[in-house]
Amino acid sequence: MNIRISQHDPLPPHDRLEGLEHLVLLLPAPRSGKRRPRHPFREVLEERMHRFDFQKDSKKPLIVDLPNATGTRVSLSYLEQDLSPFQLLSLARRHAAAHLEQNPRRVALMAPGILDQAWQARIADAFLSALLAARPLPAFKSRRPKAPRLREIALYGFTAPLPLARIQAEAEANHLARSLTALPPNELTPGSYRRRIARLAREEGWRMRFLNEKSLVQRGAGAFLAVTRGSPQRDAGIVHLTYTPGTPGRRRPAGSIALVGKGICFDTGGVNLKPARFMHGMHGDMQGSAVALGALLALSRLRVPYTVHCWLALAQNHIGPKAYKQNEVVTACDGTTIEVVHTDAEGRMVLADTLALCARSRPRLILDYATLTGSCIHALSTRYCGACTNRPELNDYIVRAGRESGERVWPFPMDEDFDEALESRIADVKQCTLDGEADHILAARFLQRFTGDIPWIHVDLAAGEHKGGLAHIPTDITGFGIRFTTRLLLDFQVQDVFG
């Protein structure tokens, strides 16, 4: 959906204010001894604040429909400058909901009295992101909802240079990730997913190749192929996408980064079958691949000056007479032998071969995303995502990128003695343990074996789904990871930390 963002320096005259149908009004928190900034509809809004006992430190906005001819809907908040990005995005979501429930064509955003340009930029980022995030996700009801009418967001009085291209790229990428994750499993199989990716690759100018099961047999990818054995359709495989900056034919820039995503389109648990409560929603077990694909979209739309590879492990974990089972020993494409302990730990199996193949191209940094473990949710809830890295120096960057993006991430330890739990008597490594203790850390220790010596960050998407939405995202499916990734790579440039 094409939404125009217009930036106007002065506030509009009073007669034009009266014609506004939807206004987001943001004011600096009052300070003793300082003059209150002039703002639109001041007298009537102050009367309404008094009538509804609105507290200026409220975490919820004041929502009023004015008694003018237009019936202007105003949402108002007083802002402290030290609000965290997460707090600001969460507040922006409440404002956006108040306006978008009326399906407007145009929403105006004003912040009179907020003059600091860095603060202006933070406000614009949060509120534009929240308004853009409200696009509907795929639905299959027989009665279709009304199409969204929003076509313009007008910013008044914002003098700061705003990163509009990045805000829009991140919003498009997040919506792509959420839309794919929302599709039911009969709509998004590995085969249909690959065709969707192929169309997007043509539109965006990415190079695409697909390693089907025959190609993976030739490469010895036994960990991936163990998972796919139970599938009735032979449509699983690994998609490899490449974004290259500049004009075709010119010398490629030195160095690259790689994004890797788990794309299990449905997870039954395999022979170790999930009960119904835990199998429900397992069409979303491909969210890691959707986030990796969305991150590629955002980075290529922003024309980053380095090559970006994207590896997507597309498969399903089915039951059946050919399905892999406990106590099997399979061999990954790098020669590592793996003892299968639990067939519901299929994500680390498909990622093992995908990471090993990715590492052969020697990127500067590998980022992988996966809805991998329930233990990460138990540790952090669905408000944070977990991360592990083979470079402890990156932990500070991970925390800062999570904080600045509003997509909060917390790193876990990666000490070598965790490997003791994965020691196998008959193979090089166990796939997992049966007791589940610290499984998110053990999964990361297992995956690290397949990254070689390349700097690597693993993101366990505990916050991939959060009831009622999270930060600026209004849906249970969050698409978590796009803003985190752009902050990590564009603001902190971690791909250059190790030269």
Alpha carbons 373 and 460: distance in angstroms, whole number? 7
Cα torsion at 410, 416, 420, 421 (round to 10°)? 10
Q: Is 131 helix (H, G, I), strand (E, B) or coil?
A: helix
Beta bridge partners, 90, equal none
Q: Are 239 and 197 in contact (CB under 8 A)?
A: yes
> By C-alpha distance, which of 467, 470, 406 is closest to 93?
470
Sign of the torsion angle spanned by Cα atoms 34, 38, 43, 48? negative
> Does residue 59 carry a catalytic annotation?
no
User: What DSSP designation does 490 have?
Assistant: I
Beta bridge partners, 76, equal 25, 62
Q: How far is CA 383 from the centre of its chain?
A: 13
> By C-alpha distance, which of 71, 70, 69, 91 is closest to 25?
91
Annotated catalytic residue within 42, 94, 106, 274: 274
User: What DSSP designation does 489 have?
Assistant: I
> Does residue 348 carry a catalytic annotation?
yes
Q: Are 481 and 295 in contact (CB under 8 A)?
A: yes
Q: Is 209 helix (H, G, I), strand (E, B) or coil?
A: strand
Alpha carbons 261 and 259: distance in angstroms, whole number? 7
Residues 6+ apart with CB under 8 A from 202: none
H/E segment holding residue 288: helix 287-301
Residues 6+ apart with CB under 8 A from 195: none
Annotated catalytic residue within 73, 178, 348, 445: 348
Q: What is the DSSP string of 457-473?
A: EEEE-GGGB-TT-BTTB
Q: Are 80 and 26 in contact (CB under 8 A)?
A: no
Q: Are 477 and 284 in contact (CB under 8 A)?
A: yes
Q: Are 369 and 291 in contact (CB under 8 A)?
A: yes
Residues 6+ apart with CB under 8 A from 405: 85, 483, 484, 486, 487
> By C-alpha distance, which of 358, 360, 376 is closest to 444?
376
Residues 6+ apart with CB under 8 A from 322: 229, 230
Structure tokens at 412: 């876990």
The two beta strands, 73-79 and 409-411, are unpaired
Cα torsion at 143, 144, 145, 146 (round to 10°)? -120
Which residues belong to the active site? 274, 348
